Chain A
Amino acid sequence: MAANDKREQLLGALHKAGGLTPGAAAKVSAELGVPEAQVYGAGSFYHLLGDSETKLRVCTGLSCAMRGGRKLLALAQDADMPVAECSCLAACDRAPALLKDRSVLVDVTQENVKSAGGDWRNVQGAELADDWNGRVGSNNSELPMNLGGTPSFSGEAFAKAQSIGADEVIAAIDESGLQGRGGAGFPAAIKWGGVRAQEAKPHYVVLNADEGEPGTFKDRELMLRRPDLVLEGLAIAAFCLGAQDVYLYLRGEFTGPWIALEKAIASFSENKLFEGVSFHLHSGHGAYICGEETALLEALEGKRGMPRLKPPFPHENGLWGKPTLIQNVETIACVPAIVLQGGAWFKAMGATEPGTKLYSISGDVKEPGTYELPLGSTLDDVAAAAGGYVGELLAFSPGGASSGFLPASERKRALDFAALSKIGSMLGSAGVVVMNTESDIRELVREQLIFFENESCGQCAPCRIGTRYLREALDRDLQGKPSEQSLGEVAEVAWEMNEGSICGLGQAAALPLTSALQHFPGAFGGEKRK
């Protein structure tokens, strides 16, 4: 292990102790030599640790809310189960989902909850482990990630990377135009080169598999179906940067992907591949913000997942202060194909921007799932891949909660980084949620605002207070209050959240409301809702 101290084990130790029950902090404190209050403070940040009494968590993410998530929640509450709502479980294609202990159950019906007889242990549903995968496009070996294909543990791309050398690999990534697939779209080659240029050693490679953006489940599918690509990409990165330790941070709900990765590590190991590289799997514990790369580093170090101030950026001051490459699952999974087929080949796969992109689409389409399409495909293209729309299109969210809502008139716009940013939205994680005219946009905006309110780390006031302020403002609107009493300050609060927040969460958190006010003004200021 590369840990500088035992603090790295803190969150795992609390998990083993059954969460933050009375006395657990003292026990872990004694084990690890970390002050008790700091153990408690760290644990209380993570919902799966801090609230160990809740055994069922019903997803109220956008897609699950559209499929009756709140009804499931109410039924479980009526039955006196230890239940709470939770943020998106990355199972939007099989909505509604819920978390039972640490297992994700999908396609849960009201009957599943009613027939449990008040005992949470009896709630059934399909289980996100080995026994179900989401829907993906068909096998096409021309595609860089090809979710429909079969994993390969031959290490061909890694061998080629070794033979051409790090400079050539990074040059190929540069030529490919690969942009970070986690949301920000930052050019991957600059990150790789940035870490490589640092004299401080060691260098670390970190996989960001804390997929939690509402409407997004592509990384889940990638790890379940093509863990080979993820691990080979990481091994190539480790080789290029001279790193020995690779940290994989998976959200705590990803039991299935965890198992898939463990098996794949074993398969590569049987083939005597990646022998100089140590893969360390780390579990998240219920905190969306840890998908923000510096918050993720804090979590890996056993602390509260509060984003750091930037600069300095992780490429110079990352894990334990060392130069660190952090990449999203999908970004890293593109690397083996780029190494094998060349940067120009990858770049040419795109429509408006380089490469293919995994679009996870859910909501009102016939076949929700993860589809690998040219980057810059339109909503109509993605919906067509998903079997077409259900009902008449009203609105869509192109890239998770942080991308806000767009009207049907944008259905032909390229879903890429530049074209969406131009209209004040973003591609983000490309978690596309489609809403038809049966939807109540105000209620859906409210779900997104609740999401941000629950997931704000609380460190800085613009986000901590702003997210709650906006939700309360919308509640006043829903109660039929005149708009000057309800939504009067929203624009100013949104402006401040963007200007004043430390990280991307707070900066984007007003977008669901402001975009809806912009595109669907008629939906607000109406009659009181019940």
Chain B
Amino acid sequence: MSKTLKLNGDEVEIVAGESVLELARRMGQEIPSLCHDPRLKAVGACRTCLVEVEGVRRLVPSCATKAEEGIAVTTANARIERHQKALFALYMTDNVDASETDDSSDPSELHALAERVKAPTTWPRMQHKRFQRADDRNPYIEYRADRCILCARCTRYCEEVESVSAITLAGRGAETTIATADARSLLDTTCELCGGCVDVCPTGAMTEKKPLALKLLPARKLEKVRTTCNYCGVGCQMDLNVDRTANNGRGVVAKITSPDAGVLPNDGNLCVKGRFAYQFIDHKDRLTKPLVRNQEGLLEETSWDNALQIAAEGLKKVAKRHGPDSLGFVSSSRCTGEENYLVQKLSRAVFGTHNVHQCAAT
């Protein structure tokens, strides 16, 4: 028999191992959360997902509470609403105004939730400024302390998912911040610039430098286009964030974000190339059409059919005159597994040589 618990009075089935937060969301309940990420160990630090469990005096974080048989959970009542309003009101006294959040890499989940729970916005703003460490010369990642809620998603991601541990919570109390050892540039740490910290940040405190510098945001006007990364054969899924109006209507990729955790094969993770090396898309040196040499030996544009025809004829001519082992095939590490397979087929089955290699194989 399946196990059940009571959720807001209704008997509901439990999926083995899930948290109260996961169960409630599965059942369509809206529970706010900021520090939660399914890839990370629950820490219950942001306090936004607190719920009531019957018989437990204090509110409990639903992210860190196992859905156990027989418990009775309430996700919305006057006490929880009062808590949410006051909590978000406090967050708002210690964060930037909602009007400033448009330039974040993603809309601030913090501000959206504050609005959703109708948190008071009139409480006096904190006089004390948050500690901001000095600028970091790395080209990609910027930390803006005045937007940070110290949920530690970035530092936990860096440690638990990437096993890199380049950043850490540092200091204490209201002076707590996100730091590197000795406040060095990310370039002088173990950081691999994967940008996962930017991706998991719910407030835009960790953000990408480039779109800010290019003034390509606000993010809300960007359209997400799902694609497959073409830097290697893994096939990571990623979202191009396209500003259709930019570049005289030709559009521009303003940045790249990860799909949600759970989207395979990369589970929302990207590497430095996938996340940040996208400017080739509109680069002036990028080849967008095939080139062949004309009678004078100069490269000129042609059609794919023609280019392939010329290449095929050339290869066949060499094979005929000098034998198949006079040929060698090297495919690019940017090819997918399927493409690499086709290259070795071309080499072995069509031309009959084992001279085939893939540049990522060594």
Contact = CB atoms under 8 A, between A and B. Distances in A.
Q: Do A and B bind each other?
A: yes
Which 4 A-B pairs have CB atoms at the shortest separation, nearest pair first? A41-B168, A458-B176, A35-B165, A496-B86
Interface of B: 43-47, 50, 58-59, 61, 64, 79, 82-83, 86-87, 89-91, 93-94, 123-124, 126-128, 149-150, 155, 159, 165-176, 179-182, 189-190
Contacts, number: 151
A461 B189 contact: no
A268 B285 CA distance: 81
A20 to B, nearest CB: 8
A472 B165 contact: no
Contact of B44 (A309, A464, A499): A309
A462 B85 CA distance: 12
Interface of A: 22-23, 25-26, 29, 35-41, 44-47, 50, 287, 304, 309, 453-462, 464-469, 472-473, 475-476, 485, 489, 492-493, 495-496, 499-502
A458 B171 contact: yes
B173 A457 contact: yes
Given A22-B182, A36-B181, A465 B126 contact: yes
Contacts of B82: 495-496, 499
Contact of A467 (B166, B173, B190): B173
Given A41-B168, A457-B173, A467-B173, A500 B47 contact: yes
A456 B94 CA distance: 16
Contacts of A46: 172
Contacts of A472: 124, 126-128
A408 B174 CA distance: 34
B90 A44 contact: no
Contacts of A309: 43-44, 61, 64
Contacts of B172: 44-47, 50, 287, 455-458
Contacts of B86: 492-493, 495-496, 499-500
Nearest to B42: A309
A493 B87 CA distance: 8
B117 to A, nearest CB: 13
A469 B159 contact: no
Contact of A38 (B61, B94, B165): B165
B168 A455 contact: no
B118 to A, nearest CB: 14
A38 B168 contact: yes
B4 to A, nearest CB: 21
A473 B176 contact: no
Given A40-B181, A500-B59, 15 more contacts: A25-B182, A37-B165, A38-B165, A41-B170, A44-B172, A45-B170, A456-B174, A457-B172, A458-B175, A460-B45, A461-B47, A468-B173, A485-B124, A492-B86, A499-B86
A500 to B, nearest CB: 5
Contacts of A45: 170-172
27 contacts: A26-B181, A29-B181, A35-B159, A35-B165, A37-B165, A40-B182, A44-B179, A45-B172, A287-B172, A309-B44, A454-B173, A455-B173, A457-B173, A458-B175, A460-B46, A461-B46, A461-B90, A465-B91, A465-B94, A466-B90, A468-B174, A469-B90, A485-B124, A493-B86, A495-B82, A499-B50, A502-B44
Contacts of B124: 472-473, 476, 485, 489
B313 to A, nearest CB: 57
A500 B128 contact: no
